[in-house]
Amino acid sequence: MTASPAGMVEPQTAPYILKMEKVTRGLPVPLPEPAPGDEQLVRGGFWTKMRKAAKRTSFAREAVAAYYCAADPATPTRVRLILLAALAYFIMPVDAIPDFIAGLGFTDDAAVLFAAWRAVGPEIKDHHRERARAKLEVVEG
């Protein structure tokens, strides 16, 4: 947490997000379009995908925090839909850049998740990030 000039406490931005911000600055990174089956897809496939990808991606903690935010009943519906669409894209076996391509496979997933995070960032709360940190300690072993 950092203090803003007005004295308000602001969440600390993950280093990965700062890096993605430099990469995408000035580039259009569209948000994924929410689809009717996104929630079922995410609930059914997120942890399977995350167990395989957690050690190979730099955005695992933010993805898991987004998952917990989307699952939180206190999260506004619009935010939930944006996060579920981004997480569904992450889970989909076929996307713009196949995940098995070393060094490039998760760049499209990262860009989509980054765009979602930028759109709803303040809604992903510290308690979502703390749950993500604790869960990843277990997942990554």
Task: Decide: helix, strand or coil at residue 118.
Answer: helix
- Residue at 106 is within a domain: yes
Tens digits of residue pLDDT in 65-92:
999 999 999 999 999 999 999 998 888 7
pLDDT class of 41 with cuts at 50, 70, 90:
confident
- Residue at 2 is within a domain: no
Burial grade of 117 (CB within 10 A; 0-12, 13-18, 19 or more): buried
Say which residue, 11 or 131, is predicted with more confidence: 131
- Residue at 21 is within a domain: no
Domain that holds residue 136: 36-140
Task: Please state, in angstroms and as integers, the Cα–Cα distance from residue 90 to each residue in 2, 34, 59, 84, following that order.
Answer: 30, 13, 11, 10
Q: Which helix (H) or strand (E) holds 18?
A: helix 15-24
Asked if residue 103 has pLDDT above 50, the reply is yes
Asked if residue 29 has pLDDT above 80, the reply is no
Res 130: pLDDT: 96
- Residue at 13 is within a domain: no
Q: How many separate domains does the chain show? A: 1
